[in-house]
Amino acid sequence: MPQKMDNKTLVKTLDFQLDIQSDNEGLLYDATLEARRVYNETIRLAKEDVDWDAISPRLEDDADLVKNTTQRIVVKALDAMDNYYEYDDFGKPSHTKNGPYPLRANFTEGYTLSLTSDGDVAFRISAKPYNHIKGILEGSDAHLDLLKSALTGDEWKVTTSETLWRDGDPELHVNIRNTEQTVRDKQDSRTVIGIDVNEDNVALTAFSENGVEDTLVIDFPEIKFERHRYFTMRKRVQNAGKNSIHDTLEGREERFVRDRLHKVSRHIVEWSRQFETPCIVFEDLKEMRDSIDYGTRMNRRLHHLPFRALQFYTSYKASFEGIPTAWIDPAYTSQRCPMCGHTERGNRNKKRFKCRSCGHQDHSDRGASVNIAVKGIEKHQDWNVPALNSLPQVRKVRRQASGAVDAPTVTHPTVRGNLADGRMGVSD
């Protein structure tokens, strides 16, 4: 089948919270209301058949916003009008916005970012003409790491941003563009790799039109162990009233986890590169924390799992290699039998999966990765999911002090298939 290669410039959006170092949150909020007025006025003028090229100069003189911000908001509104015409829904009663509207700006024109001597990222946002807000960005380590690399390196370039309010708190969403890499469209993939991220491992299965190409389970039990160890130490020093040590321990834990996640994500991408035009598929777990309620101890463990961080690290490392990533609904991926499709709760017992319908037994996380890959094919590809008659034997990689250990694992006697060959080197 001929393959269309639709390469796209790699752009990522990084989300941060704003720690504003002055009493001018009110100024920022007022500016977002003025941004809403500019957006709605653009829609009104466009509907009145005002020349679109004349709208921006007209509003720039009238708006109580920085010129660049006004221009960006007008462009956004006119893009929306283009869509309304394209989809023939221009006759709707209103396309205006309610509530605060994001301040859109170009880097160095409407906002600036800089590294502080303490290693933080400072921001300066032009909320209104000659009125700025300043402070420090707060967010995930993964997003902060990538933003810092964009500010200091050559691969990434900081571009536009949006300053907005979410749940009553101010945020800055920064777009960064990779100046050297392009990413193939995920629909053009001939291999789909399902990835199941768990508390102590990540399971991978590569699926092509010929069936399962290979599977791998990467164990990282040290993350779970170290998190619990640091939690215990922090609890003890907190009870002893030594809060300064508490912060030091928290920093050490974060650096340890971040280092391990970077290494695991590198292994995932290196393993994925061996297959023909791969696409990596993740479960969309962003709502998972809101639904977790298994008691105090288990809630603490699950809320601190680095699911999203590992997905993010893997996603942008894959992007460096031109490998696209995609997301699927996680419903029933752990309960569905990959062989017969039967879905039932109670099929899993720790790392053991046994289907109550066909009797298939498997490594439970590997089975989930097969189901994730299948959902990825059904959602994003134009080729059919091949029938499964057997699955390769599970092969594990486990990180130890001396490095990574690559070895096959016989999960259960009824797991069928040949031992997957060791085609991927897994050294750090």
Q: Where are the domains of the chain?
A: 7-182, 185-408
Q: Which of 86-95, 137-146, 288-297, 394-403 has the highest mean pLDDT?
A: 137-146
Per-residue confidence band for 350, with pLDDT thresholds at 50, 70 and 90: confident
Residue 178, H or E segment:
strand 169-184
Strand order in the sheet with 131-138: 103-106, 156-166, 169-184, 7-20, 131-138, 121-128, 111-115
Per cent of the chain over pLDDT 70 is: 79
Pure H helices in 200-272: 221-239, 243-272
Statement: residue 52 has pLDDT above 50? yes
407 strand-pairing partners? 396
The two tokens of residue 265 are: 């994500």
- pLDDT for the residue numbered 295: 53
pLDDT at site 378? 94
Across 395-403, average pLDDT: 60
pLDDT of residue 305 exceeding 70 = no
Please give the CATH superfamily to which domain 185-408 belongs.
Answer: YqgF/RNase H-like domain (3.30.420.140)
pLDDT(63) > 80? yes
**What pLDDT does 82 receive?**
76
pLDDT surpassing 70 at residue 101:
yes
Measured between alpha carbons, how far is 310 from 318 in angstroms, rounded to an integer? 12
- pLDDT (tens digit, 9 = 90+) per residue, 177-199? 887 767 788 998 999 999 999 88
Q: In a 3-state reduction of DSSP, which class is residue 72? A: helix
- The larger pLDDT score, comparing residue 224 to residue 329, is at 329
pLDDT confidence of residue 244:
59
Least confident of 102-111, 262-271, 288-297, 319-328: 288-297
Residues 6+ apart with CB under 8 A from 130: none
**Cα-based torsion angle of the residue sequence 260, 407, 360, 214 in order, rounded to the nearest 10 degrees:** 80
What's the pTM value of the predicted model, to 2 decimals? 0.59
Residue 234 has pLDDT above 50, yes or no: yes
pLDDT band at 102 (very low <50, low <70, confident <90, very high): very high
Q: Cα(123)–Cα(115) distance, rounded to whole angstroms? A: 9
What residues pair up with 212 in beta bridges, in sequence order? 207
Determine if residue 241 is left, alpha or beta; phi over 0 gives left, psi from -120 to 50 gives alpha, anything else beta. Answer: left
Give helix 67-86 / helix 52-62 axis angle, nearest 10°: 150
Query: For the residues 369-387, what does the mean pLDDT come to?
Result: 93
Counting residues of the chain whose pLDDT is more than 90, the rounded percentage is 42
Q: Which of 11, 247, 262, 18 is nearest to 121 (CA)?
A: 18
Q: What is the DSSP string of 314-372?
A: HHHHHHHTT--EEEE--TTTTTB-TTT--B-TT-EETTEEE-TTT--EEEHHHHHHHHH
